[in-house]
Amino acid sequence: MTSVLAASPGERLRTLRDLMGLTQAQVSAMSGVASSWISDVENEHIDPQEEKLLLIAQATETPIGFFFVQPRSVPLDSLRFRKLASAKRTVTKRVHALYGESYRVSDELITRERYPTPPLPFTDTETLEDDDIEALAEQTRVALRLAPDKPIPHLTRALERGGVAVAPMVLSDHSGSDEPTVNAHFGVSYWSGLGDTALIGYFPASGDRDRFTLAHELGHLVLHTFRPRAKNAEAEANRFASALLMPYDRAREELTAETTLTDYARKKATWGVSIQALIMRGAAVGRIDDARKRSLYVQLSQRNWRKQEPVEVGQEEPLLLWTLLQRQFGEKPYISGSEHLAIPPAVLRSIAPTPRIKKKAKEPHKGGVNNKEAGNNVVQLASRQTRQPEAPTRLAR
């Protein structure tokens, strides 16, 4: 919902510092504006002078309009994160700011274009059983117009066609270098319900991890929009992600006690799901007992596959926000778009990146698994043909 309160330049100045990971002293050094003035404005002890805000805007390469825009209301306790326990609070605070601004911009682009909002299923049941989560994953496939029992060739595009915006999240410091601790965060999402914008943000990594992160965050939208205090929210979202990416019946059929690690590698290439997630999926659907699961994990460790699995799953690229941005601001939309949307151009480039030109796929390896490579850390599998990016289409209502 749009705030009915007037924009607060002091609050927006604080948001800008959080967004860029800057202290008051750093902003002062960059802009020449006294730290005491920045503190007084942020704490609303004085009214801000626009000429000093302009100095800060120029120093941080931020449109002056950033300080006067009314942000969207995204409740912090409704935001869902997929992150490691080691994630630093300071970085999580930056992620909050980055996601809030990304949501504001995404909502404005989607609203201007009248792009459909997602018709996702949802639940408000206090307690969910595993069967309930499996059923909701099936319903989500229907809502996204996906085949009920086939691999999802491009999850990002399916989400965008279904009205769920997807945005890469990149934290950079004021000098432009990447924030090294960002790897402790995987994804973040928010949706307030039917008729409203949904945005999934993810921190790009390997293709299979990105796909699981997107499915995990989609699980939060479906399972926890109306159950924000769920006790086992992360475990539920993990179950949902696995069920969405590899439906129950296919998992029961393909993941058995006889399935070898080489078989799992082939299935990773087919389903776009990591070997470790597939092993967990086999256990979840009752086809792998604890002894077999432990054995498989021992084998993974022996081959040094726990941290570096074989088979590279191609990275998916979002397209929806870029397409909307280009429609509204032309072929080179970042400068004019940043002014109109009151967002730093670097942030806009992050959440709506220019699509890369795809290279022609290599010829697949005729023998499938290359047995000569089987003892190495990377097993060569037949190449997977990836679909070329398409302009997002509106979901039939």
Q: Please tell me the predicted confidence (pLDDT) of residue 5.
A: 60
Look at residue 184 in the predicted model and tell me its pLDDT: 61
Q: DSSP H helical segments within the chain, as ranges?
A: 9-20, 24-31, 35-42, 50-60, 89-113, 130-143, 155-161, 207-224, 233-245, 248-254, 261-271, 275-284, 290-302, 320-329, 334-341, 345-351
* pLDDT at residue 101 in the model: 94
CB-CB contact of 156 with 245 (8 Å):
no
Q: Phi, psi at residue 38, to the nearest 5°?
A: -60, -45
**How many Cα atoms sit within 13 Å of 283 on the Cβ side?**
16
> What does the DSSP 8-state code read for residue 255?
-
Point out which residues pair with 81 in neighbouring strands: 188
pTM of the model: 0.85
- Averaged pLDDT in 10-residue chunks for the chain of 397 residues: 68 94 95 97 94 97 94 58 59 88 95 94 95 98 97 98 95 54 71 92 94 97 93 95 98 97 97 98 97 97 94 96 96 96 95 79 41 36 37 33
- Predicted local confidence at residue 73, as pLDDT: 63
Q: Please tell me the distance from the alpha carbon of residue 115 to that of residue 393, in angstroms, as a whole number.
A: 9
pLDDT of residue 91: 81
- Under a CB-based contact definition with an 8 Å cutoff, are residues 334 and 301 in contact? no
Write down the pLDDT at residue 81: 55
Distance CA 206, CA 272 (A): 11
**DSSP character for 343?**
S
Q: Between the CA of residue 188 and those of 84, 133, 199, 201, what are the distances in Å? A: 13, 20, 8, 5
Alpha-carbon distance of 172 to 19, in angstroms, equals 9
